[in-house]
Amino acid sequence: MEALRIALTKGRLEKNTLSLLEDMGLDCTELREKGRRLILPIPGTNIEVVLAKAADVITYVEHGVCDLGIVGEDTILESGSSLYELTDLGFGRCRFALAVKKGTSFYEGYRAKTVATKYPNIARNYFEGKSLDVSVIKIEGSVELAPLLGLADGIVDIVETGSTLRENGLEVSDVICEISARVVANMASLKLRKAEIESLVEKMEQEVRKRA
């Protein structure tokens, strides 16, 4: 039988995802000792795990080369792709926020404002929703730099504890939305492999409820 492929996000969500899978009774030794391999089987099941960068998880699932994915909602929102978003896994919780230099107001004055962000689509959608013309600059690295250097009036970014902001003299102006890790599914896969996917997702949900 054809393997059920799950794409997992490397990095920030990886540890939590692995412990979730292990608590569900899946053998993740191959994943823990992956070396340089990118496609890893879970012994005793027909599941294959693919480790990928967050945005690529979405791409693989949307094209149907992976059936399921575990990825942060930030990436889903930014990509605007069409896939099924089945379950909130509860970990990887953080907020999308607009942050500005402490003591300043983003909305003050008549001058058109500029924001720096790694998430240009989310930033653009947010300000479009407020009928505001804001120019969005895409920055790849530490976006906190942009307002400090005078490139932007604010940043749109993920805020977990807020300590990076504080250390750089920034503060949250608006909370845009709360996000967390999600299970996504390819639209055709969910229909064609309903039983397998549902039983796996149900186990995940049980585990998530146990933790809560």
Binding site for another protein (CB under 8 A): 59, 62-65, 80, 82-88, 182, 185-192, 194
For residue 9, the minimal CB distance to another protein (Å) is 17
Give whichever of 106 and 119 is closer to another protein, judged by the CB atom.
119
Residue located via tokens 């089945």 = 86
Name residue 54's amino acid.
A
User: What contacts 127, CB < 8 A, 6 or more positions away?
Assistant: 115, 133, 134, 136
Burial track 127-144 (b if 16+ CB lie within 10 A, e otherwise) = beeeeeebebeebeeebb
Which residue lies nearer to another protein by CB, 16 or 87? 87
Q: How far is the CB of 182 from another protein (least distance, A)?
A: 7
Q: Which is nearer to another protein, 31 or 83 (CB)?
A: 83
| Residue with smaller CB distance to another protein, 45 or 87 | 87
Residue with smaller CB distance to another protein, 88 or 171: 88
Neighbours of 2 (CB within 10 A): 8
Helix (H) or strand (E) holding 170: strand 170-179
Distance of closest approach, residue 101 Cβ to another protein, in angstroms: 32
HSE-CB at 158 with a 13 A cutoff on CA atoms is 16
| In the complex, least distance from residue 15 CB atom to another protein, rounded to whole angstroms | 22
Decide whether 22 or 205 has the Cβ nearer to another protein: 205
Per-residue CA distances from 2 to 49, 95, 98 (Å):
13, 38, 45
Q: State the minimum distance, in angstroms, from the CB of residue 64 to another protein.
A: 2
Name the residue among 95, 76, 100, 200 with its Cα closest to residue 155: 100
Q: The tokens 């639209």 sit on which residue?
A: 187
Tokens of 187: 């639209």
**Least distance between another protein and beta carbon 194 (Å):** 6
Chain centre to alpha carbon of residue 77: 8
CB 205 within 8 A of CB 190: no
